[in-house]
Structure 1
Amino acid sequence: MTPGGSTPKTKRRVLVAGLACGALLLSACTPKPQVQASQSATERELVFAHTADATSTTLANVYVGMLEAAGIDAKVGEPVADPVAEVLDGKADVVIAGSGDLLAALDKEAPAGSAPVPGSAPATGSGKPSTPAPGTALPPSAEQTLKRLHGLDLGEYALLDSAAAARTGTLVVTAATSAGKNLATLAQLPALCPDLDFGVPKSLSADLLPRLEGIYSCTPHRMVPVVPQDESTVGPLITGQVEVLATTSDNAGIPDNGLVVVQDAQALFEPQTLTPLTTTRQLGQDAIDAINKVSAALKQEDLIALNRAVTGRDALGPEKVAIDWLREKSLVAKP
């Protein structure tokens, strides 16, 4: 039995239309819709899906800790490769995911002929507008992505309030490389790319090279795969294995090592504003309020601090880091 007796994958309903939300009422297609449940109390244990990386696990623990403090049964599920699919397939009830990942998953289910995601008008290296080839367009902005997400009718699912925090991809270099090569912005990349080795984790590699080449005329000397355990570190950059590292904006290794973020680099990657996706089956207003309260408190600096706490030299376990953060923010009572 799946959580709450969910329907099979083939019966999932994701339609781009008016907001006829069944058990939930959405006030409007806005980046932060107000969601109200048809019942006051949650009637069963909620399962939170997450990936194996420490930050994703910690975020799940943060939200679960808040729910438990509110008297709601909840638990962190086992790590999975695709936590969004876990919720859509009825194997979990909530996932805290990036907006780009959510849109990619939900848009697949939209009917043919739906309006395309609005994108940014890219520019060539000369600064003139261009019509990009397929696969070489810049992704939509964070605001556009959220607007499209909240324009979806999710049927028995709902998107709750987004946090002011994101795990969007970016490019970083050492201060020495930035100064020595005069590299601070994407506009400076074309002339430098033939001599640069890029370190790129698999999770960020899909569209990076096509966008670098097609939009910025940047063909790196080498694209070096970064193994999964290094995704939350900056080791390959610090040790000189690469000159440019693709990582995410929540990586505490960036400020802790005085690294330079390449200006505008986040535009190369799908925006990943942290947003809860949840089932509406037997979900009470108590759970919605608790989840939204965490999202309202979670800022980018908090996400970086959480990343530091679970991946740094003196890393702590996700459960302890989560409860410490909730107490620090006065979201739960201190012992």
Structure 2
Amino acid sequence: MSNSPLHIELIQPDDWHLHIRDGEVMKDVLADTAQQFARAIIMPNLKPPVTTADLAKAYRTRIESNLKSLGISSFTPLMTLYLTDNTSADEVHKAKAEGIVAFKLYPAGATTNSDAGVSDIKRCYKVLEAMQSVGMPLLVHGEVTTAQIDIFDREAVFIDTVLEPLRKDFPGLKIVFEHITTKQAAHYVRDAATPSNTLAATITPQHLLMNRNAIFSGGIRPHHYCLPVLKREEHRVALLEAATSGNPRFFLGTDSAPHAKGDKETACGCAGCYSAFNALGLYAEAFESVGKLDKLEGFASFFGPDFYSLPRNTKKITLAKQAQKIPAELPLGNDTIVPLRAGETIAWSLI
């Protein structure tokens, strides 16, 4: 668009990659998320991780209890299981029967609470065969964790050493390459010679709006530190091009990851950006920056449910070109959290 509209009406989006944690903090996170999104893929990297259908059912019950206490009846959590070296094919069939929508692959040690993750993907081949047979997607944290590989190269190396061999061995397995951060990943997903319903990628607002300079602007900026880490400007540009292209392989996944302020602002700060409070405004800003607001609805509202073979939402929401000051801090259980762009003013607001 040559001129940005003052209002954007969208079918209500979903968040296809979300952390809501557990316990006291969950209610605050759910309140922020549910004011924007109708559904969300709930990440399973709790302590201990959600590794079985029974654990996922119990987690869903806790989520629903918190939603009820908040008076929210219009938000649906979509549950996932944490893949481990010991996951069984029987668990895949049980998960499918219980309405669990996907398994999550964390390479061991890749990110927050990933120590129980997969040490070698070949240990999981019988599980992946079962997933392929029942149409259960695999959600991939796409980084290698070998110490000698530079942290800025780990996604690109993962494509060559893990993802490409995996896709050759399981051509019918539905895979979401989550929170992609590099030009290599964007081009790999774009150009893959495979049906569009077997490979997709989610992209976060921080990776569309910031490059790695943001981590060091005027000093260490711990609230801009996430994993996979922000990359060079050429990668941000490639991600923005992919997100705004109208290609149905790319859709919204915030990877919003709540950590208390003190856990971020410490000698060894946690990885994760908290965007649940204002995610849609941030995505609108990114799309507007390249004159592609007309592509936002597909990315945010259509391509995700289509990939997961779920119905599109019908309710509509409206974003207005109305300045919004982001609070410096927000409540998080008994602590506080610093949201992405804290203390700044963004141009778009949900009305």
TM-score range, shorter chain: under 0.3
Q: TM-score, normalised by structure 1?
A: 0.28
Between 1 and 2, higher relative CO (CA 8 Å, sep ≥ 6) is seen in 1
Give the TM-score taking structure 2 as reference length.
Answer: 0.27
